Amino acid sequence: MAEVGILIIDDDVVSQRALKSVLDSEGWRVRLAPLASQAMAELASGEWNLVIVNIALTDVRGPLFSILKELAQTESYPAPQAENEAPPKRIRVLFLVPLLAAKHAQPILEQEGLPYSLKPYHLHDFLEKVSELLVESGALAEPIRSMGDFSALKKRRRKISDSRDSRRGTMFASREDYQMSEEELVEFEKQEEEDRKKREKELHDRQHLG
């Protein structure tokens, strides 16, 4: 199976970091496009299997939304030009809809039959939707139906669960341990980075004293 390429069109820093971290952890190639103009150039490259876009960054009457809608509504691969030629890549689109934009954007997306996820969302539902769209694009052979199927994310979730359990002083994981919002994931990774720097400083100090 060819390399999976995902383009994220979003200017929300928290959302960018959370999405890129999770999708990177699966070994997929991920690129951020915080500006609509940059997104247009990336779309023209034809490199991507999936585009994840914050609907608040598009004008539903503008050219970016029109291009994304056309891509999302494409039902089949274009026919190859030669007998032995592979079909052109099919690009799928997932719209992210912040709550403040939902009242206006959700009816339009539903009327057009466009796939979307309301924010905030839980990673389990989000990743299942992502995997289904990657199957449609031809980038994955079959959808990932369980959080446990995301190997790297499973380890990350287990680490978060263990961290929460140690703070609660209990051996039992609560249901919330199996669902993470993007804000929770970013906060966890921030703490991990701070701990890593602290360990490196302690090691450096010990070596210097020695």
Q: How do the domains of the chain map onto residue ranges?
A: 5-145, 151-209
Q: Would you say residue 161 has pLDDT above 90?
A: no
pTM over 0.75: no
21-30 b/e (C-beta count within 10 Å ≥ 16 → b):
bbbebbebeb
| Closest to 74 in 3D by CA, of 86, 63, 90 | 90
- Cα separation, 66 vs 143, whole angstroms: 27
Higher pLDDT, 110 or 2: 110
Q: Would you say residue 196 has pLDDT above 50?
A: yes
Work out the angle between the directed axes of helices 182-209 and 151-168 (0-180°, nearest 10). 80
Residue range 5-145 forms a domain whose CATH class is alpha beta
pLDDT value of residue 92 = 94
Give the CA radius of gyration of the chain.
20
Q: Are strands 116-118 and 92-97 parallel, antiparallel or unpaired?
A: parallel
- Cα separation, 69 vs 75, whole angstroms: 12
